[in-house]
Chain A
Amino acid sequence: MPVIVKLDDLLYQRRMTLTELAEKVDITLANLSILKTGKAKAMRFSTLEAICDVLDCQPGDLLSVSKSEGE
C-alpha cells in the first residue's frame, strides 16, 4: 500500500493504547485496528481531525506515502 499509517509509532510516542484512543476519538476499536494495520481503503476527514486532535499531531505525522512501493 503506498499510503502508510503511522498510528503505531504515534501511540507509542504518546504512551497511549489503541483502546484509549478509540474511547477518546469515539471510533470503534475494530475500525481503529483496520486503520492501524493498514487495511483501510479510505479515511474520513472527520476521523483524521479527531485522531490528530487527540494525539496532538498533524495529518503528515500520521500518514506518509511510500514512494518505493507505489512506483
Chain B
Amino acid sequence: MTRPVDPRLLKGTRIAIYVSLGIVGLVGLLIAVIGPVLIWNWDEVVLELAKASQVKDATVLIPLAVGLCFTVIMALGLVWVMLSKLLALVRSVSEGSPFSQINAARLRLVGWLMVGIQVVSVPIALLGHEITMAVDPEKMVDGDLGISLNGILGILLVFVLAGVFEQGAAMREELEGTV
C-alpha cells in the first residue's frame, strides 16, 4: 500500500511556488516599467551617473542597459513558465494522479526551461559585468558566467525524473487494465 504525500508538504510547496510566482511577476513588472522610463529619460540618468560614479560617457551604457532589461525579462518569463508547470505538477500530486504522461511532458519542459535559464544567465552575467566595469572599473568583479554546476545537476535530475514519470505512467496504465 502506498502512502499518500503529506498534504502539509504539498500545501507548503504550493504556497512557495505562489510566492515565487508573485516575486517573479513583481520584478518583471518593475523592470518592464522602470527600464523604459530610465531609457526615455536617459539624459538625466547620464547626468546623475556622471555625478555618482566614474563613468565618463554614460551613453555607452544604453545598449547594455537595454540588453540587460531584455534578457532579465526573458529569464523571468522562463522562470514564470517553469513555476507554472511545477504548480500544475504539484496540483496533480494533490489530486492523487502524479504518474501521467502529461506530468512527464511537464517535467521534460521544466528541464528544457532550466536549460534556457542557464543559457540566458550567460548574457545577463556578461552585461552585468560590463555595466559594473563601465560604472566603476576599480570594483572587483568575479568572472562568473552565471552557469552553475548545481544548475546543470538539477537539469539532469529533472530529465531523469521525467523518464521516471513516463515509466510510472506506463505502469499505471497497465495496472489500470489489470483485473
Residues of A within 8 A of B (CB): 27, 31-32, 34-35, 39-44, 47
Contact = CB atoms under 8 A, between A and B. Distances in A.
Contacts of A34: 177, 179
22 contacts: A27-B179, A31-B179, A32-B179, A34-B177, A34-B179, A35-B179, A39-B177, A40-B177, A40-B178, A40-B179, A41-B174, A41-B177, A41-B178, A42-B174, A42-B177, A42-B178, A42-B179, A43-B178, A43-B179, A44-B178, A44-B179, A47-B179
Nearest to A41: B177
Interface string B143-179: 0000000000000000000000000000000100111
A39 B177 CA distance: 7
Nearest to B173: A41
Contacts of B179: 27, 31-32, 34-35, 40, 42-44, 47
Given A40-B178, A41-B174, A42-B178, 14 more contacts: A27-B179, A31-B179, A32-B179, A34-B177, A35-B179, A39-B177, A40-B179, A41-B178, A42-B174, A42-B177, A43-B178, A43-B179, A44-B178, A47-B179
Interface of B: 174, 177-179
Contacts of B177: 34, 39-42
A41 B178 CA distance: 6
Residue in B174, B177, B178, B179 with the greatest tally of chain A CB atoms within 10 Å: B179
Contacts of A27: 179
A59 to B, nearest CB: 14
Contacts of A47: 179
A43 B174 CA distance: 11
Contacts of A35: 179
Which 6 residue pairs are nearest across A and B when measured between Cβ atoms? A41-B177, A42-B178, A35-B179, A40-B179, A31-B179, A43-B179
B119 to A, nearest CB: 42
A21 B14 CA distance: 45
